[in-house]
Structure 1
């Protein structure tokens, strides 16, 4: 039978036979692409097969995140477009003017290096380490669950073989997840306009950037002059980067909250076992679809819902400050209000890639209370000015809370008192806490000044201070 006459199952069996024997010569990447059904780069699939070969040989363990980078770059670089000198010059001028305007709108200092125009591929390379850090807990969970599910589906006489293939199965699951993450990040690179566009600090510390390819797509239907659009987006991008550069603790705070959420993710074992029972290795499209759709992630637990609420409040607090500072800095732009509304709508809805990321990791990176948070920051600015407002980012314990978003008047009262050197006003909760602490202190003093209960309940003639220690 000629090679072209073999069905996909026979082709896959032949590939696996050659892989297990260590023979990778002559394998056609186009054949791999046809068998995969994953619409990914054949050269990258060749790398996947090499990794699997390493797993069979016992030399490969864990998730190979280079697969994510290759897949993301494959998508990001498909149009082959770079940044023209004209685009770079126009955005450099926009960033320069935006910096001057921000100097009037915030006390937070400028970045140590100039912002720049970057390609989609450059954005992928710069941000992928953060995506990897956020996704690693989920990748590990899926890979381990895949191993367990396949083991439960195997007959008793194959359990020893399945146990011995644990490393291979974890590699397969991790590789599929890494490839799918690369697919999502690659698609994100075709949508984001700037480094801070997704709300979390994915760019390296102190860096700001705009993607000219996506900038053009964003402004296409707005009927707003490009120079005004560039100035507004440059101002917003710089405000976001400045904030994270100034509040060094904030970056770790956001990443930690995202990872806390991700660590709580558990795979839906029933769905995974059902998938494993009918999984055809020659047609991995079903597993890819299950990963992207979120079908393997069960409904959020109460703990995860609470963690997501905390994260959304944190992102809203950040985005609200950026909104207010950008609004003040761009007050000279006639179209500023229209652009601001377009940005808010875009962040609230999220693009297809952002939605896919939510399905893949279970996390929707959208600050749902951004308008309320912006109103809070506006009230603080009106009450104590720019310097008093920005001082709230100096230390973590000064940052506004979710309760402050609900009731900005409390926060305003607190910061006004602090600006006058007065004690912060108390509320019913503060009074109750103070009363509780006072009662505990009184109880501690009573215990220190009288024999303990155990001592008085013992031999009545034996003083408590003579008991052995």
Structure 2
């Protein structure tokens, strides 16, 4: 039984059953991959700090090398924390209107939504190479300050992609670590970043339409997603399940995430040539892979918003390069000084607007 709208245990069970196994690999080789990814994360700290000028204490957020089920378990835990306020708000609204279902109904509904979340996580667990989770919090060592965030590197996916691309394995693993280490530095060296992102999530919760009729209308729009996709339109559930206030907040989130993802790509390309001999080949083949996939794969990626993430890499990197060309590296670094200096989604596409607003 569960009192939550989502049965998180069932989500984990569903995802574990549906997650495809990773590539076949001997035990000794698997141990080598894990060790090399951990070493790559540690090796990346110095070059990333030197290139970006962002100073973060070493290992202020733990680095975990996980398999696909491990990634799923970590994200179920994070999703539960992030979504809890919104789910509680919906439940309170339903109870206030006398619409709360009985215990059996709650259990069945929670199982259904848990299965849906689990299925989505199972699909995504095969795609993610690495992830910085800013919402994770753990007690600090010996009663010190809490540890904020954690870096996840998904070993079987790294092996799968490096084999698919036919690139040097040692170079590719370090290349992935450079990108993800940049995210760790962004969130740990910029003291207000985690709180700002959490604040945007809280604003989304406040803007959530808990009226059953409103939710029904949103789901009705979502049901049209497949037809719009077949007609060649870009569509995401992240788009159709939003009211006006949510769209405004999503615009802020898009600006932040595009900046962080694009900046990490710029760092990879900037640091890469000095430490990764085959970096240009990796970049060329990896970018080509980002554009691939069959019809079903592309549809699922669009519905889950993964295509939007790919655009964030491209648009965010273009923003960083354009700003640095206009006002230099020091001028770009103004983005880290205050939440007010973060670019909006519109400014990501029009860097001159950001330069004019921040630098006059």
TM-score over 0.5 (shorter chain): yes
The 3 A distance-change label for structure 1 pair 77 and 345 is closer
Contact 2:37 2:173 in 1 (8 A): yes
Query: Hey, what's the Cα distance between the residues in 1 that align with 2:306 and 2:89?
Result: 15
> How many angstroms does 1:410 deviate by?
4.9
The question of 1:227 aligning with 2:163 is answered: no
The question of 1:389 aligning with 2:326 is answered: no
Q: Of 33, 42, 66, which residue of structure 2 is paired with 1:118?
A: 66
TM-score (norm 2): 0.70
Note the alpha carbon deviations across 1:367-386, whole angstroms, 9 max, x for none.
Answer: 63543332332244345554
The 3 A distance-change label for structure 1 pair 215 and 271 is closer
Map of 1:400 onto structure 2: 343
Who wins on radius of gyration, i.e. which is larger? 1
> How many angstroms does 1:388 deviate by?
4.9
Unaligned runs of 5+ in 1: 1-50, 148-161, 273-293, 416-423, 426-469
Map of 2:150 onto structure 1: 207
Query: Hey, what's the Cα distance between the residues in 2 that align with 1:365 and 1:135?
Result: 21
TM-score (norm 1): 0.56
Q: Of 55, 59, 70, which residue of structure 2 is paired with 1:109?
A: 55
The 3 A distance-change label for structure 1 pair 206 and 310 is closer
Note the alpha carbon deviations across 1:22-60, whole angstroms, 9 max, x for none.
Answer: xxxxxxxxxxxxxxxxxxxxxxxxxxxxx2xxx7xxxx5
Query: Hey, what's the Cα distance between the residues in 2 that align with 1:326 and 1:270?
Result: 39
Contact 2:4 2:110 in 1 (8 A): no
Map of 1:257 onto structure 2: 200
Map of 1:318 onto structure 2: 260
> How many angstroms does 1:251 deviate by?
2.8
> How many angstroms does 1:350 deviate by?
8.9
Q: Where do residues 233-248 of structure 1 align in structure 2 (5 Å cutoff)?
A: 233-248=176-191
Map of 2:116 onto structure 1: 180
Map of 2:215 onto structure 1: 267
Note the alpha carbon deviations across 1:222-244, whole angstroms, 9 max, x for none.
Answer: 22111111111010010011111
Query: Hey, what's the Cα distance between the residues in 1 that align with 2:306 and 2:50?
Result: 36
> How many angstroms does 1:195 deviate by?
1.7
Q: Secondary structure at the match of 1:331?
A: helix
Query: Hey, what's the Cα distance between the residues in 2 that align with 1:222 and 1:171?
Result: 45
| Larger strand percent | 2
Contact 2:12 2:72 in 1 (8 A): yes
Query: Hey, what's the Cα distance between the residues in 1 that align with 2:195 and 2:170?
Result: 35
Q: Where do residues 61-460 of structure 1 align in structure 2 (5 Å cutoff)?
A: 63-76=6-19, 84-110=30-56, 112-113=58-59, 115-136=63-84, 166-196=102-132, 201=134, 205-258=148-201, 260-261=203-204, 263-264=208-209, 266-268=214-216, 300-332=242-274, 333-341=276-284, 343=286, 359=303, 366=309, 368-382=311-325, 386=329, 388-412=331-355, 424-425=359-360
Instruction: Count matched residues.
Output: 324
The 3 A distance-change label for structure 1 pair 303 and 345 is farther
Q: Where do residues 1-16 of structure 1 align in structure 2 (5 Å cutoff)?
A: none
Note the alpha carbon deviations across 1:326-384, whole angstroms, 9 max, x for none.
Answer: 21111233432443355556667799789658757x89752635433323322443455
Higher relative contact order (CA 8 A, sep 6+): 2
Note the alpha carbon deviations across 1:297-347, whole angstroms, 9 max, x for none.
Answer: 966544444443333222212212112122111123343244335555666
Comparing 166-175 and 110-119, the one that deviates more: 110-119
Query: Hey, what's the Cα distance between the residues in 1 that align with 2:20 and 2:330?
Result: 43
Q: Secondary structure at the match of 1:86?
A: helix
Map of 1:281 onto structure 2: none
Note the alpha carbon deviations across 1:408-440, whole angstroms, 9 max, x for none.
Answer: 34544676xxxxxxxx53xxxxxxxxxxxxxxx
Unaligned runs of 5+ in 2: 138-147, 221-235
Contact 1:143 1:173 in 2 (8 A): no
> How many angstroms does 1:248 deviate by?
3.9
